[in-house]
Structures are given as structure tokens and as C-alpha cells.
Amino acid sequence: MNEELHPPLLGYTDRLSARPGEQVQVKVSSTLEGEFEASLVRIISADPNPAGIGVVVEKIESDFAGSYPARAQEFTPGSCMHAALAEGMTLPTEFSVSAKIWPTRVASGAQAVLSIGSSAAGTAFVLGLDEAGKPRVMARMTDGSWVEALLPGVVRERQWAWLWASFSQPSGELSVGYGGSDGHHNEYIRFDGTASLTAEKMDSILVAASDPGERRMHFNGKVEAPTIYAVPLGLNQILDGSEIDAAPLFARWDFSEEISSTRVRDTSDNEIDGTLINFPTRAMTGSMWDGSEMCWRHAPQHYGAIHFHEDDIYDFEWETDFSVAVPEGLRSGIYGIRLQQGEHNDTIPLFICPPKGKRTARLCILVSTFTYTVYGNHARGDYGDDWADKTKAWHAYPWNPAEYPQYGRSTYNFHSDRSGICHASYRRPLFNLRPGYLTFGWSTCSGLKHFQADSHLTSWLENQGYDFDVVTDKELDEEGVGLLAGYSAVTTGAHPEYHTARTLDALEGYRDQGGRFAYLGGNGFYWRVAVHPENDAIIEIRRAEGGIRAWAAEPGESYNAFDGQYGGLWRQNGRPPQRLAGVGFSAQGDFFGSYYRRTPASYDKRVSWIFDGIDDEVIGNFGFSGGGAAGFELDRYDRDLGSPADAVVVASSEKHDASFVLVPEERLTHVTNKPGVPDAELIRADMTYFDTPSGGAVFSTGSITFCGSLPFNNFDNNVSTLLANVFNRFLQE
């Protein structure tokens, strides 16, 4: 792992998409001396496979092109709460601190549950766990020495316990206490001297970290109800709840309020409200949760916990190096901000939409930026040596998220405490959102997903001479069906997996208003996500019941914090993908593609035009993704899940290898599945077509590898012919 190392030249933009007239802030970090060059490019192909056209970018004139001074920019992983004391407010000379904790990574270094300090003078007081996981309180004296009280036992992981400490300058006592399932313990020491807490100006309180300046000693786990009482409390008073209830408060932070925000309310009269840094997870079950409520909106008092992680990092908040004013008249498309310094370069994709309210082509591509973001910096478990060889040989993108965990991983990974990562953001360098990045290094095919795999479609459109506009999930979420209305056809790429209710509403609305919709992927419209109300770059995913899951939401934690809605599969939210696209996720295997075979029903004249100019029965037994057009993630037609009765399955895939299995939500027992037929019958991609009553139409491929076949044989093949037939029909007036 390169924990200390950084790729020499990296950047990100404050937005993934923009319209002419809008500004894009570009943030760059370079560990090299001198200046870097910036320029604008159009990205034609992002697949570095030498068997195809390779990575193709086209330089575009731009006002911002030029040199900029190189500088390294920092970032500090780890989430916490910060609360500032108002000017003139001082800590009492005697006080107690308490919090409930649910630690998740004990004995991984010293951890602070609550600390007090100042950005000028540093930390003066830390209640937390020592390196071994023993409860400990430390206070700094004015001579710089530290005094500490330590309990002998190690706290238990993933169990609620009560942690407290008491400080008194007048009596020179410092005590630490712990109450868990193994009883209550208390320890105190006497100190002789003056503590910095009372002698120096303290202005910052941190929960789950220490040192307001650089932030260290991050706590891993849940914290509930951190409180500062304005009196010293001992074990007996703590055990006698009535005395605690009557104790005067200095501050008490209630994490069950304003759960969808980064604000934390202090419920004491002092109003020392806190701010959350690096987006820890809210709407987490607290010590009061008893299973009687599953939704935090119905019993917020059960959800008074925040889960902090030492590796939470989403928005890097780097300074802007230069901004890009998107020129009026810049054609909609897929562009990149190219940074170059010496032998190093980084190309940050930028999706340029048409001017608001305008269409500049008949075809619109919906770019799956929610899915790109959710997969951002996905460190794959199978990352290994073969990646490096292939990357070198193909001059592919050199950096892999598996090598740089400190840049923050994806929602397909775990935090260091083994809890699932449920937040994602593009306001940081995303190694896997770059032209030439390889998702599967071991594969003999191109081994691409997401942005790079979608360029199989866009390079084909360029090659075939189709004009197209580009919009992204963000605009669709914000603007709804109006964004798509008027386009003759709208198409997805290979993997439009993550959606909000608003993006699904917009797509259904477009279809039902007579739009022609092409879904050229697999495992689409699958998970429900939410966008943070304060920062639209941050997306939340709760991996609730069912689905191919990288991790599982804990019991009681299936509702999104960001919007209060039930997370997980759209299928479990009453909107199976079959209802929109006619097909939905059914089976997954290794990254291998098979082929489709035409069905007898495809010869009906309602749909036979799809195969005009194609004599083959077998479609797509070739390709840059898995070696075949039907592979990896397969969707099929299912009436029970909402596929329209009059939809025609025009081709189905076959001959999938033994790695392909049914998705979990299709299984019932170890031997039975929901439809009650042999599993093998359900392991297939259904290429499906239907007309809608309003004159619209839907074409779905049901396979994530479909687009990988388009550029094969220099774009001359039966998948290419087939898609041209569909688009040519869809784009007719």
C-alpha cells in the first residue's frame, strides 16, 4: 500500500457536468516542481485496448489553456464533529464529560471520543481509548506534561457502553469511568499543577478526533449523546441517574436532530452547535434502538448515534487552481480537462450538456454519473500483479484505487472497521473515472466498466456519424422529464445502475410521453440512492435487503439519512427495473460474454426490422467486454415484475459458463427460486422491444457487455448493424 505516496499529478473538478456559460472549478495537486499545462480535450475513446482504436482524445481550443504553478494540496481523512466556543466563552474549572460509545476498531491506536483544545495551543484534554483499547482520560498541564487516568480493562467491540470523565482544577482530580455489560469501573488520579484547560484559551471541542488543527486520533465506531456537565461527577452520582439528570449542562449534542444535515444541535442553553467534518454516517441505531422501529423518522430517539470512521473522506475541499468558463456554442459531448507535467498527465472527464432548455441533436445520451460516483475509487479485491503488466503494455491509466486507500474508497468497499462505505463523492480524484483505466486487469478482453465501457457506445456513435447531446443523472435528478422531452431518442450506456425516485420518474415520464428509450446495459435501475441536501456531490447508498451486495446494511439501518427514504433495491421499493425497461437483473457471473440467439418471435414484422441486414441467428459472439455481447450481468423479461405483456423478447443469450448464478433476490432456498423453475432457465439476457400506447418505444439489451461489441472489427459487425437499425428507427421524425 502506498499510504504515504501520492501519484504526482492529480486533479478533480467541482462538478462532473456543465452547460455553456457555466463555470467549472479545477483543483489540482502536483508533487512536482514547476508548472503544469492545462488544456481541453474531447474524449472519443477511453478504451486503451490496442486491438481497438485505443484511447482517442482530440484537442479543443480553450481560454483556460496554459501553464499554472504546481503545488501539492493536502487532505485529511477521518470524520468527526467540531464545535467552537463563542468568543468570551470559557470552560468551567470543574466539569464532567460523558458519551455512549459503540467501538468498532479497538486496539488500532489511541482514539479520542471527545477532546478539547484550541487551534493555537493544540489539545489539552482527551477522553477516549488508549492504544490497547482501555478507557483513558488525559489532561495537559501548563508545563506541557500530561496526566492521565486509565482503566485496566479493554472495551468490547460493537457493544454499547458508557464512557465518562471528570476534571476538577480546584481539587486537582481527574477521573475516568466506564459502564458496559461487564459492570461499572471508575479510576481517578490527583494532579499537582495547573491544567492548560483552565489556564489557556480553549476554543474547540471535537467528537471522535483530537487536535482541531490537523485532526488526529480518529475514533472508529458510533458515538451517542456526547455531553459536558458543568460539575464534576463521580461513579456514585453517575449510577444514580437522578443526580445526572439534575446536573447543570455545559453542552449536550443530540445526534438524532437534523439527521439529513451536517449540523449537530447543542440542546443546552449555551448553543455550542457542532459541524460534522468528512461526512460520518448518520441515522445509525443508537443505544435506545430496540427493533420496534426500522425508520429513523418514526423514532429519532432510537437513532441518536453517528458512526465515525478514521477513513471517511469525500469532499477534499482543495483550492481552485483555475476555472473553466464553458464557452457558449461549445458542442455538447464528452470532454476532459487535461493536465500535463513532464511525463505525467491526468484527464478529468467533463460532460458538457446543451444549453438549458435547448436540444442540439435528436439523440440524447444519459451519462450514468450517479453510478460512476458510487463506484468512485472502487478498490477491487482481485487487484493483483497482472494489472500492472497489462497497464504498462497498453499504456493504460497508471493509478489504481487499490494502491491508494487514503484517497477514500467506494461504496463497494469497507471502512477499516469493516463497516460498509455508504457515502460517495466525485469532489476528489477518482482514479477509475479516467480515460484508459482498466477495471479488470486479469481479463484478456479490454476489461472495462462504467466511463471507459460507455465510450464503446460513444466511439461507435462518432464512427457511425450520429450527432448526440449528453446529459447526466445530475441534470435529470434536478430537472426531471423536461430535460428529455423533445428528444427523438434517449439512450443509456452499459450500466445505469443507481437512481433516485426523480431520475426514474423522469425516464418513465419521457417514455410515457411518446419518447423512444434505449437501455443498452445490464443491472440497470437497480439501487436507490439519495443526494445530500447540502452537497450535491455526495451520494448515499444503503445496501438493504437483497441484491448483489458488497456489504449489508445493519438491522434497522436501511433508511437513507439524506432523504429518509427506504434504501436498497428499487425492486424492494416497488419499482422493479422491468417496469421501466421491460427487463431486470437476473443473473451474474465472471466478466465473460456469450452471445444472443434470435427468437422465433423476432421474425414478427412488428420487430423484424431490428435485424434488417443481418443474416445471422447468433448475435454478438465477439466483443471487447468479456468477449461477447451478452455477459457478466444479465437482465431478463419477467411479467411478474412488470415487463409489459406485449413486449417481444427478440433475442436471448445462452451458453453462459458455470460462474453465472441467480442474483440473491431471485433465490428462495438453496434449491428453489422465486419463479419456481430450474435456475438455468433464468440465467439469460433478454433483448426486448416494446411500443408504448403513446407512440413511444423501448429497446433493452439486458446485458452489461453489449456495448463492448459495437467497436469490434472496426465497428463492422452484427451488433453494430442491429443497434443502427434501432437508432435509425428511433430517430425518425
Binding stretches for Fe ion (CB under 5 A): 497
User: Residue 305: beta bridge partners?
Assistant: 224, 284
Q: Is the Cβ of residue 424 or residue 647 nearer to Fe ion in the bound state?
A: 424
Exposed, middle or buried, 252 (CB in 10 Å: 0-12/13-18/19+)? middle
Least distance (Å) between residue 702 CB and Fe ion: 14
CB of 258 to Fe ion, least distance (A): 32
Count Cβ atoms within 10 A of the Cβ of residue 75 and give its class: 0-12 exposed, 13-18 middle, 19 or more buried: middle
Considering the complex, what minimum distance in angstroms separates the CB of residue 362 from Fe ion?
29
For the bound state, the minimum distance from the C-beta of residue 85 to Fe ion, rounded and expressed in Å, comes to 46
Helices first, then strands: H and E counts in the chain? 11, 42
Residue 399 or residue 632: which is nearer to Fe ion going by CB? 632
**Residue closer to Fe ion, measured from CB, 73 or 573:** 573
Give me the least distance between CB of 380 and Fe ion, in Å please: 12
Specify the residue, 171 or 659, whose C-beta has the smaller distance to Fe ion.
659
Three-state SS string over 444-503 comes to: CCCCCCHHHHHHHHHHHHHHHCCCEEEEEHHHHHHHHHHHCCCCCEEECCCCCCEECHHH
Instruction: Output the smallest distance, CB 335 to Fe ion, in A.
Output: 25
At closest approach, how far in Å is the CB of 635 from Fe ion? 12
Q: β-strand 468-472 against 516-519: which pairing, if any?
A: unpaired
Q: How far is CA 727 from the centre of its chain?
A: 32
Residue nearest to Fe ion (CB): 497
Which is nearer to Fe ion, 403 or 497 (by Cβ)? Answer: 497
CB of 520 to Fe ion, least distance (A): 15
Give yes or no for a contact between 450 and 439, defined as CB atoms under 8 angstroms apart: yes
Distances (CA, A) of 686 to 516, 551, 599, 709, 719: 18, 28, 10, 16, 14
Say how many C-beta atoms besides its own lie within 10 A of residue 463's C-beta.
17
Cell numbers standing for residue 629:
455481447
Q: How far is the CB of 548 from Fe ion (least distance, A)?
A: 8
Write the secondary structure of 356-405 as one string of H (helix), E (strand) and C (coil). Answer: CCCCCCCEEEEECHHHHHHCCCCCCCCCCHHHHHHHHHHCCCCCCHHHCH
Q: Contact, 550 vs 412, CB < 8 A?
A: yes
Nearer to Fe ion, 454 or 497 (CB): 497
Cell numbers standing for residue 504:
426514474
- 600: Cβ–Cβ under 8 A, 6 or more apart, which residues? none
> Between residues 312 and 497, which has the closer beta carbon with respect to Fe ion?
497
Question: In the complex, what is the shortest distance from the CB of residue 538 to Fe ion, in angstroms, rounded to a whole number?
Answer: 19
Nearer to Fe ion, 497 or 635 (CB): 497
- Kindly tell me which of 487 and 591 has the beta carbon lying closer to Fe ion: 591
Nearer to Fe ion, 227 or 588 (CB): 588
CB 446 within 8 A of CB 709: no
